[in-house]
Structure 1
């Protein structure tokens, strides 16, 4: 017995099936898109902090590179990195004896003052000058190695800190020779050094990004550092400026280097210290990192094209 087939019903069933398939396909695509992870944009805070976090976890890489930078500088030298300490010691001794006579100060007070100032200044100036070409010098690695750019910042800060530790040997020689009267405030040097390192991070990062885009920045910074050195109380004591400049001595307070040097030098020499130096350094630290992170958020992805 043959059954009659209704063409209209068959067509309707076919259309209904197609609609169901399309609906199912659309639902599957929607679920797939919903389940897929959302990719962060290149200009996002998430990528900024992820870059810094991944670089911090690769400390073996940037620590090794920083140490190799120090070794390469004195390759095939008999004394090696000890030349850093010797050079600092000779410079500090010669200038200390000369300027103590010029300023009519006791050498036992002035030589430690100037030497510690020199040690801190070399670290600050090293971070500023090296920061201007941190990405330019690492052009090959940036283009070939898929690594976070913060690695090169950590590498530079670590290298300058190693040089700082080499120079710090002179301070212990000063302790043995001049025996300054240290106080319990000596222990405040440890948070001061930590603040110095934290500030070195944003300085290298900020100047590195800006200098990669504008290649005139490195020579400008190098030239400006000479002026900044003489404008900072490194070789001249603040008391001499206050005695001769009078009310105009407050202009030295505008110089941020003065505050960074003071929070480290005062505890190392057993001198009294004012709280406002710490407050100014903390304020600069917050503002500096905010600006550096903003620059990194906006231009991190362009560094590889600018180098």
Structure 2
């Protein structure tokens, strides 16, 4: 009983976080190798990441701008930024659920902190985001936006999104090692939320609709947490004014999420190697 309590300590949980962060050279190299291995013997290499995302953004932007009667010079950059940010968020959630299962061999054979695998996952997604973000600059060259100095808010917004990707991967990763039904459930929920989040539709259409019943749905859309994560980074990148309540909600989710993830890390860190 005393041994079990010794493993369930905040000191060990925070020590795992510190040790994982101190192994930056390890997970930094592994994350970069993950990108290279995925496109080995390819002529364009990781540029395929940018091309595939760009083609998808172009197709969705043209299609949904016509369906919603939106000007293409606004809606295509709107969809592009939303899709690039959503790709990062969705990958963190989906791959986070499998982060420990996918690294079963390393966890059982290499005595490294659990958080090393989480940092590796997040770093890999940051590299993918950097590749995809090139599309944003191409869109700006084709469809210039009225950017303001508030564009710098995109930097802390992305930092917040990365921080949330960390606790999501840690929390869902631990739960998924114990309950293997969780990853496919998460995948289905993320796919559903893609259509419920204003990526390929404009949130303002609901807010400004002449029908009060449809306008009221804009209030219900505020309960989608992904909406707030997308808005805090997309609005400054498109030159739109910042809305404080988006930042407040994201801040609350960040604190609560990390608190829950740390509780799981404290209580079940030692069990993950047996569950995988």
Q: What's the TM-score once normalised by structure 1's chain length?
A: 0.86
1:132–1:208 CA contact under 8 A, matched in 2? yes
CA distance in 2, matches of 1:151, 1:247: 44
How far the C-alpha of 1:58 sits from its partner, in A, is 0.7
- Which residues in structure 2 correspond to 1:2-81 (within 5 Å)? 41-81=6-46
CA distance in 1, matches of 2:57, 2:187: 22
How far the C-alpha of 1:73 sits from its partner, in A, is 1.1
Gaps of at least 5 residues in structure 2 are: none
Find 2:220's aligned residue among 251, 260, 271.
251
- Is 1:242 matched up with 2:207? yes
- Is 1:305 matched up with 2:274? yes
1:40–1:47 CA contact under 8 A, matched in 2? no
Q: Deviations over 1:68-107 (max 9, x none)?
A: 1111111111111000000011111111111111110100
How far the C-alpha of 1:248 sits from its partner, in A, is 2.5
Partner residue of 2:159? 194
Partner residue of 2:259? 290
Partner residue of 1:29? none
Which structure has the greater CA radius of gyration?
A: 1
Partner residue of 2:106? 141
CA distance in 2, matches of 1:193, 1:234: 17
State the Cα RMSD in Å.
1.3
Give the match's secondary structure for 1:273: coil
Find 2:170's aligned residue among 185, 202, 205.
205
Find 1:108's aligned residue among 73, 96, 107.
73
Find 2:124's aligned residue among 150, 153, 159.
159
- Is 1:124 matched up with 2:89? yes
Give the total of aligned pairs: 270
Find 1:175's aligned residue among 135, 140, 143.
140
- Is 1:94 matched up with 2:53? no
CA distance in 2, matches of 1:233, 1:137: 31
Q: Deviations over 1:219-276 (max 9, x none)?
A: 0011111110000000000011224412232110000000000000001000112101
How far the C-alpha of 1:193 sits from its partner, in A, is 0.8
How far the C-alpha of 1:65 sits from its partner, in A, is 0.8
Find 1:280's aligned residue among 246, 249, 253.
249
CA distance in 1, matches of 2:216, 2:206: 10
How far the C-alpha of 1:40 sits from its partner, in A, is 8.1
1:40–1:46 CA contact under 8 A, matched in 2? no
1:85–1:167 CA contact under 8 A, matched in 2? yes
